Amino acid sequence: MLRGRLMKTVRAEAAAAQVSSAPAQSAIPAWMWGAVAAALLFAFYNAYEARQLQEKIRVAQLALTEQTHRQQQVAQQLALADREALILTDPKSMWIKMPASDKALPVLQATWHQQLGIVVSGWNLPAPASKRTLQLWLIPNSPGAKPMPSLTLRPDWSGKFDLLVANPPESPSGTKWLAITEEPEGGSPQPTTTPIWVGTVAGK
């Protein structure tokens, strides 16, 4: 009988030892780990989609800005063309021929409207050398007055150009000549070469 009790005690201790040595189960259920992983994956996906959407918006904004800029340029070109047409067709405009000092060069045509500005046109012009440009000058009537610099220009590939001076600094009555010289690229504050084309304004 004593032996039976000892055997029960040994078995009970062995069972207790097995229970104590068994690994502890995780406090977080396995299904919850899956839910956390799914939430993280969803968050990463949303962040990726947000970056993609932001990039699409940025590209669309750039395209819209470029399109708006092109539309503004076209509108400006149309406005300038309309202004040139008014200057060239208005009976109030003054027509000024600008012959060249070199007879081999074509004669230029200037048209001056006191309110709208000056248009200078030419055809079959040779292009200035590299880093050189043509520049328009207004020569005042006043004795000793310095030439007033205006815009620069270069003919296109066909030798044609139309130069619009929207706000000339002098009225026709205060200007004696229109002249065009060849200057360094960007223009000069004072002429550095002899005029190639000159047109008489005063007395016309």
Q: Is pLDDT of 40 > 80?
A: no
- Mean pLDDT of the 86-98 span: 91
- Mean pLDDT of the 50-73 span: 78
- Mean pLDDT of the 112-116 span: 90
Residue carrying the six token digits 């959407």: 53
pLDDT at 3: 54
pLDDT at 7: 56
pLDDT at 150: 94
- Mean pLDDT of the 35-63 span: 79
pLDDT at 204: 47
- Mean pLDDT of the 67-79 span: 68
- CB atoms < 10 A from the CB of 54, how many? 10
Q: What tens digit of pLDDT does each residue of 15-34 get?
A: 555 545 445 555 666 667 77
Where would I find the H helices in the chain?
2-21, 30-89
Instruction: Select from 2.50.20, 3.30.2220, 2.60.40, 1.10.3470 the CATH code of 94-200.
Output: 2.60.40
Angle at 78 between CA 74 and CA 82, to 5 degrees: 170
Q: Is pLDDT of 177 > 50?
A: yes
**Spatial distance between the Cα atoms of 165 and 115, rounded to a whole number of angstroms:** 11
The domain locations on the chain are 94-200
Residue type at 35? A
**Spatial distance between the Cα atoms of 133 and 153, rounded to a whole number of angstroms:** 6
